[in-house]
Amino acid sequence: MDYLIIIFSAVILLSISSALLGSYLVVEERALLSDALSHSILPGVILGFLLSEDKNPWLICGLALVAGMLGTILVYYWKQHTKLKQDSLLAVILAGFFAIGIVLESIYNPVGVRYFLFGQLNSINQQDLYFIAGHTLVTIVYISLFWRQLHMQSFNPQVANLYFKRQAIIKWGFEVLLIIGLVLAMQAVGMILVAAWLIIPALSARFCVNRLKSMQLWAMIFSIVLSSAAILVSWNFQGLAVGPLMILLFAVGFIIAFLASPKKGVIKGVYLSYLDKKQHYHEHNLKLIYKALEKKSATPYLNIDLNQTFSLLEIAHQLPMISLSDLDKRFKSLMKSQELLWLEDSKQWQLSATGQQTAKTMVKKHRLWELYLSQEANYKADHVHLPADKVEHYLDDEALEQLDQLLGYPQLDPHGQVIPR
């Protein structure tokens, strides 16, 4: 079989199984476990090389599985019978088993084991490819058969243990697939980087989607595309180590997902925060204009006419705490959002229909919340303004109606001011 076909096939198959398994680790917040397991299986891998001159994958994976299961069992046992935290126990297992493996390697120096330590993708042969394909197939079938159990185990293990029979067996079956997957992936990227191979694609996918199935699918795509790109780059630029290059591209992809994800990316978060602040700024200014018109009105105890025109100086006179230049800037901002209109003929300002509705609604929200705090939460009348200033921006129409109904559709707020209707 052609060398490149073997390499690309192995990478695609490893990407599929790693994405399926790694997604569960990310959701369960067990990413550190994969790093500890990759170190704990090292003694088993070295013993497999010592006992198998032809690098028998069955023997290597079998002994690695024994070492990995031993490390996992020790972690769970010590966690249940001591007060130590899991991360501390994982650190002990990681260091202890890794030290045993290094000692064995330094004594016997088995041929080929360094491929597992540092990764050597071109060391994968046709026999290894068949073994990788078998593991990927078993992983897909296993997750398909026990999807509900594994899904529940990831999000609520206590409920899973109560609801499903033999949940412990299913859980340990997953651990077996995970350990074998780590051994196989070590040939591609090495023991030190294998945890990153397993975790980074799933983490990147989590920034893009919310559902576990979608996360696994996107993790597969992420891993296949970037690892294939790393192979092509390494092929064209001789001397580049393909394993570390894969992880480097994974890390770049993770940063891009972290920054630019359409669902949870930092850029979108900053942009939405900016929009929220801008909206709150406009709402606050419209509320100030309403109150200024209310003060200016000859009948402030009645609902005011929001269709009236006014000058900047008239509003500034009612709002002495705001400078004229600042108020002018606020007016121009509202004009850009078409909530405030400049009437060229009369040289006056006027609230648009949207601006009138927003101003009226914001004042209503503010005064209803002040009344709620005063009546229901026993706040003093002079302590309700600041909390209402914050909450008013987050009350939707349904909540506003419920609040109004709860208070009995009142006419006045705690300060005797009219609640707009």
Beta bridge partners of 355: none
Region label for 156, one of left (φ > 0), alpha (ψ between -120 and 50) or beta (otherwise): beta
How far CA 325 is from CA of 190, 312, 329, 330, in Å, comes to 64, 10, 6, 9
Q: Which residue has the tokens 């980087």?
A: 193
pLDDT at 247: 92
Q: What is the CA radius of gyration of the chain?
A: 32
Q: pLDDT tier at 30 (50, 70, 90 boundaries)? A: confident
Q: Which residue has the tokens 């084991």?
A: 113
Helix (H) or strand (E) holding 171: helix 167-189
Q: Which residue has the tokens 């296949």?
A: 224
pLDDT at 101: 86
How far CA 42 is from CA of 61, 100, 242, 258, in Å, comes to 11, 8, 21, 32
pLDDT (tens digit per residue) in 272-289: 889 889 999 999 999 999
Residue ranges of domains in the chain, CATH in brackets: 3-262 (1.10.3470.10), 271-406 (1.10.10.10)
pLDDT (tens digit per residue) in 206-265: 988 989 999 999 999 999 999 999 988 988 887 788 888 999 999 999 999 999 988 888
**Cβ-based burial of 107 (10 A; exposed 0-12, middle 13-18, buried ≥19):** exposed
As a whole number of angstroms, the longest Cα–Cα distance in the chain is 100
How far CA 259 is from CA of 87, 197, 250, in Å, comes to 28, 20, 14
pLDDT (tens digit per residue) in 86-103: 778 778 887 888 898 888
pLDDT (tens digit per residue) in 347-366: 899 999 999 999 999 999 99
pLDDT (tens digit per residue) in 294-326: 888 766 666 788 888 999 998 988 888 889 899
Segment 298-303 long-range contacts (CB within 8 Å, at least 24 positions apart): 300/417, 300/418, 301/418, 302/418, 303/418, 303/420, 303/421
Tell me the two tokens of residue 212.
Answer: 């576990």
pLDDT at 300: 61
Cα–Cα distance between 163 and 213 in angstroms, integer? Answer: 21
Q: Are 61 and 3 in contact (CB under 8 A)?
A: no
**Residue 242: how many CA atoms within 13 Å on its side-chain side?**
25
Phi first, then psi, for residue 91 (nearest 5°) are -65, -40
With a cut of 60, say whether residue 1 has pLDDT above it. Answer: no
pLDDT at 298: 65
How far CA 264 is from CA of 168, 191, 208, 395, in Å, comes to 34, 31, 7, 24
For the chain, give the number of residues. 421
With a cut of 70, say whether residue 292 has pLDDT above it. Answer: yes
pLDDT (tens digit per residue) in 180-212: 898 888 888 888 888 899 999 999 999 889 899
